[in-house]
Amino acid sequence: MNAILTWLNDFLYIYILVALLTAAGIYFTVVTKGVQFRLLKEGLRTLTEKKASDRGISSFQALMISTASRVGTGNIIGVSTAIAVGGPGAVFWMWLMALLGAASAFCESTLAQIYKIKSGDKFLGGPAYYIQRGLGKKGLGVLYAVLLIICSSTAMILLVSGVEGNAANAGSPYMQQAVFHMFGETGIHIVTVALMLFAFTTLLGNYFYAEQNLKFITENSKALFVFRIVALVIIFIGTHVGFEMAWNITDILMALVAIVNILAVFAMRRPVIAALKNYDKARKTTDEPVFRAADIGLTDTDCWK
């Protein structure tokens, strides 16, 4: 069973996902004129904005939830594995993919804002909503720079530790050996605590997204209760399956979600580009642009009238 999962995992990442994400990152960087670089300062400014209502979340809170779901054990184990197997040059490619991927992340976030819906005094949005409203079918800039810093920090520790990485110690053992060499036994405990916290925040962040997508399908309270029980069972099972199988299953599911999402973002690129041009134009005359969907020819949105 695990051999099949390994083959499928390798096929998705080697032949599909890497090429797809690279092509999308280059394309969106070009058409947005490097939005992840030229609007970085503006993106950081918006993090200080307050939330619109008492029941909503602020820009900073939204960033923290998003970061929690993406900054996980992979930022330690994944980076150490990449360097152990691919050598120090792997760091360059991680940096490059993070910088290019920031443009794709911007487009995804913009679509989520354009096609979000109002539910009472709060807003709901994300891939499920913009795929349904933007494509007529019901079915992720600054964030990637958060990821770039964390992955780079792990990489720097490994590279300057003096510990040689190889296939035998790839993953968390390499990281543990590196911090032990630099900080002694205390370093091992630091890595252990970091892995535990990263895994916990990843669970919380991904559960939040999963619950929001369930609510997209149904608001039934019984269905939500069953979902929560199933989530707990899956977490329990995940602690008992083999390490390699657990990673293979997770990688495959994440790859499938990413493929569907990036294709949807590409198909809906026109309103993203139009909204960005509208924003750039408005910023020339005011520090607080007001977006209206009609200004870019959109009429099928719940908000931005």
**What is the model's pLDDT at position 74?**
64
**What is the model's pLDDT at position 41?**
83
How much is the average pLDDT of 156-175?
58
Neighbouring-strand partners of residue 124: 117
40-43: long-range contacts, CB 8 A cutoff, minimum separation 24: 40/141, 40/142, 40/145, 42/283, 43/141, 43/142
Return the minimum-mean-pLDDT range out of 47-51, 88-92, 152-156, 161-165: 152-156
Q: Specify which of 87-96, 145-154, 262-271 reaches the highest per-range mean pLDDT.
A: 262-271
**What is the model's pLDDT at position 28?**
93
Which residue type sits at 136?
G
**pLDDT per position as a tens digit, 111-160:** 888 888 777 777 777 777 777 776 655 444 354 436 444 544 454 555 45
How much is the average pLDDT of 5-23?
85
Exposed/middle/buried for residue 36 (C-beta within 10 Å: 0-12, 13-18, 19+):
buried
- HEC profile for the chain? CHHHHHHHHHHHHHHHHHHHHHHHHHHHHHHCCCHHHHCHHHHHHHCCCCCCCCCCCCHHHHHHHHHHHHCCCHHHHHHHHHHHHHCCHHHHHHHHHHHHHHHHHHHHHHHHHHCCEEECCEEECCHHHHHHHHHCCCCCCHHHHHHHHHHHHHHHHHHHCCCCCCHHHCCHHHHHHHHHHHHCHHHHHHHHHHHHHHHHHHHHHHHHHHHHHHHHHCCCHHHHHHHHHHHHHHHHHHCCCCHHHHHHHHHHHHHHHHHHHHHHHHHCHHHHHHHHHHHHHHHCCCCCCCCCHHHHCCCCCCCCC
Report the percentage of the chain scoring pLDDT > 90.
Answer: 5
**What is the model's pLDDT at position 32?**
92
**What is the model's pLDDT at position 170?**
58
**pLDDT per position as a tens digit, 64-82:** 766 665 666 666 667 777 7
How much is the average pLDDT of 291-298?
85
**What is the model's pLDDT at position 31?**
93
Exposed/middle/buried for residue 39 (C-beta within 10 Å: 0-12, 13-18, 19+):
buried
Higher pLDDT, 99 or 60: 99
Q: What value, to the nearest 5°, has the Cα angle with vertex 202 and ends 197 and 208?
A: 130
Structural contact between residues 43 and 110, judged by C-beta atoms closer than 8 angstroms: no
Structural contact between residues 174 and 83, judged by C-beta atoms closer than 8 angstroms: yes
Instruction: Tokens for 294, please give them.
Output: 């009609």
**pLDDT per position as a tens digit, 210-262:** 787 777 778 888 888 988 888 888 778 777 777 677 767 777 777 777 888 88
